[in-house]
Amino acid sequence: MVMNLLFIVCYNGKPMCPPLPKLAASEKMQKLSLFFSNLELIEVQQEKVAN
């Protein structure tokens, strides 16, 4: 099994997007920061089953 590191952009503890790779999550956070303050980037680990 491989651990995949993904990030979720959250606003007041509520997820604003699905888990994304770091670059995509950073871009999403930048876009959302125009409309929301107090955004957080939450790191999640997703298990990827190797076939």
**22-50 per-position pLDDT tens digit:** 999 999 999 999 999 999 999 998 776 66
The pLDDT value given to residue 3:
67
Element (H, E) at 50: none
The structure's pTM equals: 0.78
**Which alpha helices (H) appear in the chain, and where do they start and end?**
22-32
C-alpha torsion 11→13→17→23, nearest 10: 80
The pLDDT value given to residue 45:
86
